[in-house]
Amino acid sequence: MSAPCQWVRSVLAAWLSDELKPSTAEAVRRHLEKCESCRAHMELLRESWRLLDEVPPKSIPPAFTARMMARIVEEKDLSRFAARLRPHEQRRKVLASVAGIAAGLFLGMAVYGWTGLLTKPVSPVESEVSQHVSFLEDVDLLDEIAVIQAMDRPDLDPADALDGA
Amino acid sequence: MAKAIAVAAGSYEQAGRRGAAADYDVSLMLRFQKGQELAFQELVERNHARVIGLVYRFISDASDAEDLAQEVFLRIYRARHTYKPTAKFSTWMFRITANVSLNALRSRANRKDDVSIDQVTDFGDGPRALPDHDTKMPDHDLHQAELEEKVREAVAELPEKQQVAVVLNKYEGMSYAEVADTIGCSTMAVKSLLARARDNLKDRLLLYIRTGRGRQRLT
């Protein structure tokens, strides 16, 4: 394709829409007069553009404005409702946050206590002492004393001593 | 250079304000801004036909077109506090219309992507929007319906910006400068968009053009 043809084809759409400067439009018109190929191209562009008219416009639905205004009323009601809801909503959010934090703290402390982390000794000596204290807590001291006393007295059966205690 | 652009932008904005001042719809919008609800009602009454018509050019579905037109006016209603009359009201309104329509097209395309293979098989890819061939429809109507469908498809398959430019220029009768204002680009860009769009449309509708001036059935 020659350079003039390329140029003309690049501006043909604007030429068809009457969007070119008069001098440019005149140059295109002169080229089209003598160039059959560009003329054919222009016809195709024009006809395909015309085909777009084959799609009929939309018929306008009756009472659109009334329906639109009804929707605006709904919109206003919704905004009023949202505005009324907002303080309650905020209060509820604050309360929920506080309750959440409290529950989290309580749960954390419960887990901490249950795992024994609170009473767990930190040094080996404390650990040793703790074991002995636990042992002493578990032993029935009175039973222990009664058995020892029975052992000192050969006439007494340790089992009887336990019953007597 | 920057100064020249600033001056140009300033004069453009002044021209926009002058245009806006002479625009009755702008005055309605300003009255609405001051609390006159009736002014909004008048705006809807004056413009709804153009908005519905424009949405329909993008969407091709009558009931969706009305819903989306309502969405356009709802956006205008919500924007009353921030509205500034810097351009023609119609430019602003058509920009909203194009955005709402393109968003709807995008979500429709996303929904299509989500459809399973079974569903695709169920609904098929055939001419479901076309008249049933078994009914006694005259040939002319049949051809016309098919032609309309093909033309709609050809426009719908254009890239988004080309599609908007075509709809605004062809169906709204906007000049290149007005299209540029509406979609927010230069007139040169619109010139290029429409040149490519018209080439694409020519290629897609070629068979109709060659076989009987758009009246022959594509087979």
Residues of B with Cβ-Cβ distance to A50 under 8 angstroms: 214
What are φ and ψ of residue B176, in 5° steps? Answer: -60, -40
Confidence category of residue B22, pLDDT binned at 50, 70, 90: low
- Across the range A29-51, mean pLDDT stands at 94
Q: How far is B70 from chain A (nearest CA, A)?
A: 6
Residue A45 has pLDDT above 90, yes or no: yes
* pLDDT on residue B4: 45
Closest residue to A45, CB basis, from B48, B73, B202:
B202
Q: How confident is the model at residue A85 (pLDDT cuts 50, 70, 90)?
A: confident
CA B23 to chain A, closest CA, distance in angstroms equals: 21
Residues of B in contact with A69 (CB under 8 A): 41, 44
Residues of chain B contacting residue A71, judged by C-beta atoms under 8 Å apart: 70, 74
Which own/partner contact pairs does B33-39 have at CB distance under 8 Å and 24+ positions apart? B33/B80, B33/B81, B33/B83
pLDDT on residue A128: 79
Q: Which residue, B165, B160, B201, is CA-closest to B183?
A: B165
Q: Which among A50-54, A87-91, A130-134 has the top mean pLDDT?
A: A50-54
Which residues make up the CATH 1.10.10.10 domain(s) of chain B? 135-219
Mutation for testing the A interface, residue in B149, B199, B208 having most A CBs under 10 Å: B199
Quickly name the fold that domain B135-219 has.
Arc Repressor Mutant, subunit A (1.10.10)
What is the per-residue pLDDT across A7-23, written as a single tens digit (0 to 9) for each? 999 999 999 999 999 99
- Percentage, residues of chain A above pLDDT 70: 79
Shortest alpha-carbon distance between residue B199 and chain A (Å): 7
Report which of B187, B196, B206 is spatially closest to residue B160, judged by C-alpha positions.
B196
Question: Which of A50, A58, A64 has the CB atom closest to B62's CB atom?
Answer: A58
Contacts of A15 in chain B (CB under 8 A): none
Q: How far is A97 from chain B (nearest CA, A)?
A: 33
CB proximity list for B209: less than 8 A, separation 6 or greater: A44, A47, A48, A51, B202
Instruction: Dump pLDDT digits (tens) for B119-169.
Output: 433 333 333 334 444 445 556 666 888 888 899 999 999 999 999 999 999
Domain B1-112, CATH: 1.10.1740.10
Among A16, A24, A42, A55, most B C-beta atoms within 10 A, so best to mutate, is A55
In this prediction, residue A135 has a pLDDT band, given cuts at 50, 70 and 90, of: low
* Parts of chain B belonging to CATH 1.10.1740.10: 1-112
The pLDDT of A106-114, averaged and rounded, is 83
Q: Minimal Cα distance from B177: which residue of A? A: A19
